[in-house]
Amino acid sequence: MSSYFYLIKFFRHFYLAALALVLGASVVWARPLRLFVVGNSFSQNATHYLPDLAKEGGHELIMARAQTGACSFERHWKAVEADLTNPGDVSGKIYSGKSLREILGQEPWDVITMQQYSLLSSDVGSYRPFAKKLFDHLHAARPGAEIVLHQTWAYRVDAPRFGQIKAGRNAANNQEMWENSRAAYHEIARELGLRVIPTGDAFWRVNSDPKWTYLPDVNFDFKQAEKPALPNQTHSLHVGYRWGANGKLGKDATHANVAGEYLGALVWYGILFNESPERLAYIPPGLAPDFAAHLRTVAWVVLQETAPANRVFLPKE
């Protein structure tokens, strides 16, 4: 790709962001923003409340998804390869019976996002060569769209295991998972010349704040627990403990709960519309207003802090 393409993208985003800051007003698209999401359950989490935020901000959002659970860059790409070889091959139709080509359709998408499977997100080796192959394919299919990496988040502090750093070794804790995941996403972003949606940084900002972090409930008696009793999970961004249909107490320390989905959507909103999500008033049902306000502040702070590293990079020759 030419440097001209990236310079145009850079100046467009710089202009809109500067205009929003100077005028203190929303920058409203003259037409709908068309967003195509290539991902898995984490992209589903992060965009759950995005339509609600876009509506409040006065933006029309058209969104489509090519998502399947636990899908890595490798699996996405191998499905594309299968479809390119034989459009009738079911191994290429991993998105609810459809292929990436079929879901892309003929829509002139403005932004396309892609991300790694969270369990592999801390292992930069797992991105190669599949992230580039998928990027090249998407860029060829939609040369007018900006392709963006979505930086996923680390698991909750009490997760039974954390992301793989390299074959045979997983992160020791959520901080190590976040640090390595962040480094991997930004390394691939530099190689491909892409911006990053820093959802993972926003999660870590909350999880590393003594006032707002989730702390495991050491007083809850798990051995004597009876439905519907749950441990205290105040300020958790992850689903955490819940009672299953089988009557057993289970734990999901990986996926986002309402608070985590709200935080992710706030970060996506700021990136997509080049304006602060802090002024938005929408709060999902069940989320405490003070925590919601803090999450809006965190999203905006993280977007500002990561802006220098989120410039449009020129890919390596």
pLDDT, block means (10 residues), the chain with 317 residues: 43 46 42 96 98 98 98 98 98 98 96 98 98 98 97 98 97 98 98 97 98 98 96 98 96 98 98 96 97 98 88 45
Q: What is the pLDDT of residue 307?
A: 85
- φ, ψ of residue 48 to 5 degrees: the values are -55, -45
Candidates 188, 144, 180; CA nearest to 162 is 180
Give the pLDDT of residue 12: 45
pTM for this entry: 0.89
Distances in whole angstroms, Cα of residue 81 to Cα of each of 40, 85, 100, 120, 220: 18, 6, 10, 21, 50
Backbone angles phi, psi at 223, to 5 degrees: -70, -30
Opening angle at CA 237, ends 234 and 238, nearest 5:
105
Give SS3 for 196.
Answer: strand
The whole-number pLDDT of residue 315 equals 42
Quote the tokens at residue 182.
């962040």
Write down the pLDDT at residue 310. Answer: 75
Two tokens, residue 252 = 């999901």
Domains of the chain with CATH codes: 3-210+255-310 (3.40.50.1110)
Number of neighbouring beta carbons within 10 Å of residue 55 = 12
The answer to whether the CB of 36 falls within 8 A of the CB of 109 is yes
